[in-house]
Amino acid sequence: MKYNLDGKVAIITGASAGLGEQFVNGFAESGAHVVLAARRMDLLTKIADEVSHKYGVKTVPLKIDVTKEADIIRLIERTVKELGTIDILVNNAGMYIVKPLVEQTLADWNLVMNVNLTSAFLASREAAKVMIPKKAGSIINISSTFAYGGTEFTELSYYTSKGGLVSMTKALAVELGKKNIRVNAIAPGFFPTAMSKGAIEDDAIRKRLIEPRTALPMLAKNEWIRGAACFLASEDAKYITGHVLAVDGGWLAF
List, by residue number, the catalytic residues. Answer: 158
Neighbours of 189 (CB within 10 A): 21
Catalogue the E-assigned strands of 14-170.
33-38, 59-63, 88-91, 137-142
Q: Distance between terminal CA atoms of the chain?
A: 28
The sign of the torsion formed by the CA atoms of 209, 211, 214, 215 equals negative
Neighbours of 84 (CB within 10 A): 12
Q: How far apart are CA 178 and CA 239, in angstroms?
A: 12
Catalogue the E-assigned strands of 115-215.
137-142, 181-188
In angstroms, what is the C-alpha Rg of the chain? 17
